[in-house]
């Protein structure tokens, strides 16, 4: 397998692993929130889910300032779901890669483009865009 093909496959694997990790995070955040809502301190779950989100981003994403920050928002059912979001296309661009996915969802569905950068021997997700009728628009990452 050529180095170029290996890099694209690696980038695709990073996006798939990120989707799985975010799915797990969203499910855990939901359970934590539900459990805490029955206590005297319903907001007590928040620091833990923010810390666990940071771990996911530290593993899969570039460390840089985000236009919308890194919000600890989540949905139920989860926005990220490996059963409903699949890689459609990918391309290596030297030290960058692009991985397009198709997400089947009522809210937030459609084509997403993950842009990854190579840092050392790792691919890290740098940004995500969603395809709209008039082009690509940045999503909150």
pLDDT in tens, 89-140: 999 888 999 999 999 987 778 999 999 999 998 999 999 999 988 899 888 8
Of 3-12, 81-90, 103-112, which gets the smallest average pLDDT? 3-12
**Cα distance between residue 41 and residue 27, in whole Å:** 20
The C-alpha atoms of residue 74 and residue 29 are separated, in whole angstroms, by 7
Any idea what DSSP says for residue 76? Answer: S
Residues in the chain: 141
Tens-place pLDDT, residues 18-76: 999 999 999 999 999 999 888 899 889 889 999 999 999 999 999 887 766 666 677 88
Cα gap 50→73, rounded to integer Å: 9
Paired with 131 in beta bridges are 136
List residues bridging with 77 in a β-sheet. none
* pLDDT value of residue 1: 47
């Amino acid at each position: 397998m050529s180095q170029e093909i290996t890099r694209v496959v690696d980038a695709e694997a990073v996006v798939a692993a990120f989707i799985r990790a975010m799915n797990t995070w969203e499910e855990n955040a939901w359970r934590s929130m539900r459990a805490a809502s029955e206590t005297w301190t319903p907001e007590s779950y928040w620091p833990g889910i923010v810390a666990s989100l940071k771990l996911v981003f530290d593993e899969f994403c570039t460390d840089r300032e985000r236009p919308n920050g890194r919000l600890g928002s989540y949905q139920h059912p989860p926005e990220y779901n490996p059963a409903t979001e699949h890689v459609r296309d990918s391309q290596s661009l030297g030290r960058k890669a692009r991985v397009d996915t198709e997400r089947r969802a009522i809210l937030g569905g459609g084509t997403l483009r993950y842009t990854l950068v190579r840092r050392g021997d790792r691919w890290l997700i740098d940004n995500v865009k969603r395809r709209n009728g008039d082009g690509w628009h940045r999503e909150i990452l």
